[in-house]
Amino acid sequence: MAAPLLFLTSSLLVPSGAYILGRCVVAKKLQEGGLDYFEGYSLENWVCLAYFESKFNPTAVYENSVGGYTGFGLFQIRDGQWCGHGRKVCSVSCSELLNPNLKKTIECVKKVVKGKEGMGAWRTWSQNCQFSDTLARWLDGCKL
């Protein structure tokens, strides 16, 4: 019973045919987008966050029934708060955050992280990246 449940859960996060980027590709795109030490957060923090939010899938859409929102893209930008009707914090439609070139996504996360919570706006960062003493591993082997 656990195996089918695990498959169902993972298929929600990474649907069949999903567009998954490699870890080093993500790091390079985020670096080129100016996220390395943006608001004091290292590139390793951003790559860690991208992994725990979407498993490096820039086209991920995940409905969070507990939180009552849908997350979009590499960083699971929340509708209703950060993107969507009325454009919210990021001044962008949520669907624009599903582009693998990550331009709109990077623009949006820069606005979110400037808020009072910083990267703490993402619970996954607080739980998995904030106090990690192994952040350097996220860039291991990447030629940046």
Active site residue 53: yes
Going by C-beta distance under 8 Å and a sequence separation of 6 or more, which residues neighbour residue 119?
41, 45, 49, 113, 125, 126, 129, 130
Phi, psi of 138 (to 5 degrees): -70, -20
User: What does the alpha-carbon distance between residue 32 and residue 106 come to, in Å, rounded to a whole number?
Assistant: 10
Out of 32, 39, 44, 53, pick the active-site residue. 53
- Beta strand 61-64 with 69-72: parallel, antiparallel or unpaired? antiparallel
As annotated, the active-site residues are 53
